[in-house]
Structure 1
Amino acid sequence: MESGPAIFAGAAFALFGAALLLWTGVRLRQGEPVALGVAPRTAAVVTTLSGAASLLLGIWCFGRL
């Protein structure tokens, strides 16, 4: 009964984290700003940490099954 929400949450966090890391990497490789109005290094660090945290949270949710 509890595995359904854990699977959904794990998938949502893992997909969001992976997509955020991929998007950040593409933007940095192209030399485009990651976030408008923010220092480039600050935006890159914050989005990378957020993406990694979401991906790890998704993996943790899958590990709880």
Structure 2
Amino acid sequence: MESGPAIFAGMVFCLFGAGLLVWTATRARQRRPVAQGVSPIASATAAGLAAMISLALGAWCFTRL
């Protein structure tokens, strides 16, 4: 009964993190801005960091099963 919310939260974090990481890498590879009005390096770094944190939180949720 308690593993249901952990599975749901883990999947949400992992899907969001993976999607953000793929989107950021695609935008950076095409040399397009990740965020408007911000330095390309800073925005790609911040988005990549947020994606990695989200993936780590998803992995942590799956260890709680």
- TM-score class normalised by the smaller sequence: over 0.9
Where do 5+ consecutive residues of structure 1 fail to align? none
Cα distance in 1 for residues equivalent to 2:47 and 2:57:
15
Where do 5+ consecutive residues of structure 2 fail to align? none
For residues 9-37 of structure 1, the C-alpha deviation after alignment (integer angstroms, 9 at most, x for no partner) is: 00000000000000000000001000001
Cα distance in 2 for residues equivalent to 1:10 and 1:60:
8
Q: CA RMSD in A?
A: 0.5
Shift of 1:40: 0.7
Among all aligned residue pairs of Structure 1 and Structure 2, give the percentage whose two residues are the same amino acid. Answer: 60
Shift of 1:61: 0.3
Shift of 1:47: 0.2
Secondary structure of residue in 1 paired with 2:32: coil
How many residues align structurally? 65
Shift of 1:55: 0.5
Structure 1 length-normalised TM: 0.97
Q: Identify the residue that residue 62 of structure 2 maps to in structure 1.
A: 62
Q: Aligned letter for 2:51?
A: G
Structure 1's consecutive aligned runs of 4 or more residues displaced over 3 angstroms after TM superposition are none
